[in-house]
Structure 1
C-alpha cells in the first residue's frame, strides 16, 4: 500500500446521548473572622503598583478625567474620589474592611468616636425630634445629647433599666426617631440585650444605633441581632495601640427609611423629601436602601467636616489586622483578674459580665461566647483614699483616661470621667468613691496580678480602721 492510499474509514462507536447537566454550584466557604480582618475589602488601588498594604494617600483632592467626569462625580452618577473630606482611597480601604467585619453593607470613617456618634445621629435627627438612650453611657455621649443636641432642638430621655424592654417602651414618644445604647457599658461592663431593644425600636418604626466600641465585632456583631447602625471609637480596640484617633459608622441592611409615623408624617423627611441639592430628587430616589449611608456621608460628615486623616486610617487598619488576637488575650486576662479580685478581702465588688455575680452574666453567655471584654470596674472597701493610693502604687497599669490599649490602663471615674455628675447619678452608674476602672491589656496576666496585689496592699494601709480587713474579720466573727 502506498503512502498516498487512504485507509478505509472505521465505524465510530455509538455513544448514548447524555442529558445536559448543569455543573454543581460550589459556594465558597465563608472566611473566618481572623482571615477577614487581614483580607476583607482588599480591592487594591486602581492605577497603583500592586501594593500589598493600602498605601497612605495624602492628597487633599483628586484629578478628574474630563469635565463630564467632574460633573458626574459631583452629581453622584459616577463613582470616584473628589476630595478627601468626603472620601480617600486609604480611608475607603478601611471602610470596606470594617463594614465586612461588622457584617454591614457599608461604612463611613471619621475623625473620632465622638464624631461617629454625632454623624450617625444627626443623619437621623432634626429639631423637634426625640432621642431615647440608655442611661449607661460614656460621659462624652451623655454630654453631647444633653447639651449640644439640646441646642439643636433635639430632646433626649435616658432609660435607667436598659435590661428591661418595658422601660424603653414607657419612654417612647410620637417624636422618638432613634434608640441608642452601648453593647458593653463603660465602666460597669453591662451587656445590652440587643435583640430585645431592637424589637422595641422596630415596633415603633425607628432604628437602633449601638456603640460597639468595648465589644468590638470580634466579640459581638449587633447588626446580626437586630441593630441597624453600629458606631465605634476606632481609637480604642480597633486601633489597639493608643496611637490614632478615629471613628466609624457601619450601616446594616433592611431598615425601611421611607417609613411613616402613625399620623402619616415621614419619619425621616431628610431622606425621603426632594432636595434642591439633588436636583429635586430625594436621597431615597437616588440611592434606595443606601440613602441613609449616603446622606450621612455627604450631607452630615462632609459638611460638618470630622475628617479622618489618611495616616490615622492607615494606623487603624494596621491595628485591625491583629484585632482578634489581641481581644482574645484581653478577655482571658480580664476574666481571670476579675475572678481573683472579686475574692480579695480589700475589694468590695467587681463589675464584669464574666462573673456569675454580674446582672449581665446570662446575657453575656448569649451574646459574648468569645469573652466579656477587658474593661471592669473594681470598688475598694477603703473609698476614695484607698482608690488614690491603689492607682498611684501601680507600675504596669498606666494612669490615663483611655481604654482598649495593648497596655493596661487605670483611672478613677468619680474624680475624672464622671466628676460632673451628681452623687445620685454616679451611684446609679455604679461609680462609687472607691471605684477604679481597669482596662486590661495584653501583658502576662501573672505580672498584672502581681502589680495589682502590691497596689491592694498599699490601698489597705490608708483604709479607715472601721473598714479595715481586721475590722471586717471581727465583725464577721461577732
Structure 2
C-alpha cells in the first residue's frame, strides 16, 4: 500500500539505522572526498557503473537523500540536485538542446528563464521559439521543426498563475518525439506531479516551497525515466563518452548504451553537474530536507490563505484585476473554460502560494503600496514561510524584453505576493492599511 505524501516527505530515501547510524535527522556529510576502498571499486565509481561516493562534486550522501526523496515525491526514477533553481533549469534545457537544437516555450515564464533562452542560449547555438499561449496546441505544434528537442513551460506560471495543459502538451510532444520539460516550482510536488500527466523531466527551484524558509538556495532535475532518448532527435545521447567508457580495453559507450531511459539524468549529472560544478553543499541539502519534512502542512495552509487574500483583493476598489487560478475569478489567461477544467483535474488541492494583481495609478501607486506594507517583506523570493511582496516588472522580470513582459501581463502596474504562514486577518489588515496610505490623497 502506497504511503501518503506527508509520510514520504519525512521518511523517503533514508533509513536511520542503515544509513545514519541511528540518527533521526539525515547527517551532514561535510566531506570533500570519500574512501573508495579498492582500485577496482574506484574505477567502477568513476565510470558510473556502481553507486557510491568518492568526491562531493560527483555525489554526496546528504545530497543523495534529498535527490531520492524528491524523485519519489515527484514520481520520478531519479534526480540530480544542484546549487540553484536556475542551475537546474539551464542544465535541463541545455542538455536537451545540446548541439544546436531548438526549444519551444511561452513568454509567460520566470524572468531569468526567458532571458536565458532569449539572449544567452543562442550564443551556444540553441534557439527558442516563443509562443504567447502554451495551451494553444495548434500554435505550439506549428513551431515544431526537425531540430526541436523539447517543450518547456511552468506547470503554474509565475506571476500570472496560469495553468499549463500538461496532458495535452505531453500528447503533442510525444507524437513528434519531443521531450516535455516542466518547471513545477510554484505548486510544489505536494500540489501537483507533472510526471503523472505525461511530463518527461521536472525541474524545481528548491529554494522556494520545497525548503520553505528562505534560508537555502537549491534546484533539482527529476527524470521520469520513460522517454525514448534514442529516437533520433538527441544525437548527444548516442555519442561515445570517454568518462563512462573503458578506453583501455576498446570499449566506448554512450549514455544511451549505458543507461537507457535514464540517459538524460546521467548526462545531466555526469556532464553538466560535474563539469559546470553547480554543486549543492551537504549543509544546504540538510536545510532543504528539514524544510521538506513540513511541506505538506505549510503549503496546505498557505494555499488557504492565498485564496482568502485573492478574494479580499477583489473587494478593494483600487485593484483592477487579480491573477490567482485557485479561484474562478482569478483565471484570466487564455481559455478560461480550459483553466477551470485544468484547475479541477490537475490541481484539486490548489494552484500554489503566489498571486498577482494590478492596481490603478500605475507604477507610482505600486511603489507606494510596496513601501507601505509593514508585515509583508519586499523580497524577490517565493515559497517562504513569510509573506513577500514585489513588483515583478522591475525586479523578477526586469531582464525580459518589454513586448514579452506585456504579453505575459507583467506591466508596471502589477504586484506579486508570495503568501506565507501568517494569520490571514493580519495580512488583509496589512494590505488595507497599505492601500489606504497609497491612495490617501486620491479620495
Give the TM-score band, short-chain normalised: over 0.9
| Aligned 8 A contact 1:382 1:460 in 2 | no
Secondary structure of residue in 1 paired with 2:139: helix
Matching residue of 1:185: 157
Report deviation, 1:422: 4.4
- Tell me if 1:373 matches 2:373: no
Length-normalised TM-score, structure 2: 0.94
Structure 1 counterpart of 2:260, from 285, 288, 291: 288
Is 2:418 the counterpart of 1:446? no
Measured in 1, the distance between the counterparts of 2:294 and 2:370 equals 29
Q: Residue 145 of structure 1 aligns with which residue?
A: 117
Larger Rg: 1
1:382-401 equivalences in 2 (<5 Å): 382-401=361-380
Aligned counterparts of 2:262 and 2:320: Cα–Cα separation in 1: 49
Tell whether 2:413 aligns with 1:413: no
What is the CA RMSD across the aligned residues, in angstroms? 1.5
Matched, 1:272 2:244: no
| Distance verdict in 2 for CA 1:38–1:296, change over 3 Å | same
Aligned length: 430
Mapped contact 2:375–2:430 kept (Cα < 8 A) = yes
Does the CA-based 8 Å contact 2:20-2:26 persist in structure 1? Answer: no
Superposition deviation, residue 296 in structure 1 = 1.1
CA contact (8 A) 1:62 1:83 kept: yes
Q: Secondary structure at the match of 1:157?
A: strand
Asked if the contact 2:303/2:353 (under 8 Å) is kept, the reply is yes
Note the C-alpha offset of 1:72.
Answer: 1.8
For 1:307 and 1:422, the matched residues in 2 are separated by 30
Partner of residue 406 from structure 2, selected from 419, 422, 427: 427
Please list the CA deviations of residues 333-365 of structure 1 after superposition, one character each: whole Å capped at 9, or x if unmatched: 001110111122111000000222313333212
State the Cα distance separating 1:433 from its structure 2 match. Answer: 2.2
Q: Does 1:136 align with 2:108?
A: yes
Tell me, in whole angstroms, the C-alpha distance in 2 between the residues paired with 1:422 and 1:148: 13
Q: Residues 139 and 417 of structure 1 are in contact (CA less than 8 Å); yes or no, is this contact kept in structure 2?
A: yes
Q: Does 1:66 align with 2:32?
A: no
Deviation at 1:216, TM superposition (A): 0.4
Rounded to whole Å, the distance in 2 between the matches of 1:321 and 1:221 is 17
Deviation beyond 4 Å, 4+ runs, structure 1: 44-48
Output the CA distance in 2 between the equivalents of 1:135 and 1:326.
30
1:474 aligns to what?
A: none
2:416 pairs with 413, 419, 437, which one?
Answer: 437
Aligned residue runs from structure 1 range 4-403, under 5 A: 29-44=1-16, 48-260=20-232, 267-277=233-243, 278-279=245-246, 280-357=252-329, 358=331, 359=336, 360-403=339-382
Q: Secondary structure at the match of 2:189?
A: helix
Q: Secondary structure at the match of 1:232?
A: strand
The answer to whether the Cα contact below 8 Å between 1:348 and 1:380 also exists between their aligned partners in 2 is yes
Deviation of 1:47 after TM superposition, in Å, equals: 6.9
Provide the C-alpha distance between the structure 2 equivalents of 1:127 and 1:291, rounded to a whole number of angstroms.
16
Number of the residue aligned with 2:249: none
Q: How far off is 1:193 after superposition?
A: 0.6
Shift of 1:426: 2.5
Unaligned runs of 5+ in 2: 247-251
Deviations 1:294-320 (A, max 9, x none): 111011111111000000000000000
- Cα deviation, 1:391-423, whole Å, max 9, x if unaligned, reads 111011100111110000001112222334444
Which TM-score applies when normalising by structure 1? 0.87
Distance 1:230 1:155 in 2: 21
Distance 1:53 1:239 in 2: 15
Q: Which deviates more from structure 2 when the two are superposed, residues 63-72 or residues 273-282?
A: 273-282
Distance 1:137 1:206 in 2: 20
CA distance in 2, matches of 1:462, 1:433: 21
Pair 1:68–1:127, CA change in 2 (3 A): closer
Paired with 1:367 and 1:48, the residues of 2 have a C-alpha distance of: 37
Report SS of the residue matched to 1:292: helix
Q: Distance between the aligned counterparts of 1:177 and 1:422, measured in 2?
A: 24
Check whether the contact 2:114–2:400 (CA below 8 A) recurs between aligned residues. Answer: no
Deviation per CA, 1:52-111, whole angstroms, max 9, x where unpaired?
211001111111111121112112233210111111000001011001100100111000
Shift, 1:44, TM fit: 4.2
**Is the CA contact 1:110–1:308 (under 8 Å) kept in the aligned structure 2?**
yes
The aligned residue for residue 471 of structure 1 is none
Deviation at 1:368, TM superposition (A): 0.8
- SS of 1:415's equivalent in the other structure is coil
1:391–1:410 Cα contact (<8 Å) kept? yes
2:57 and 2:17 map into 1 onto residues whose CA distance is: 19
Checking the alignment, whether the CA contact within 8 Å between 1:382 and 1:459 is kept in structure 2 is: no
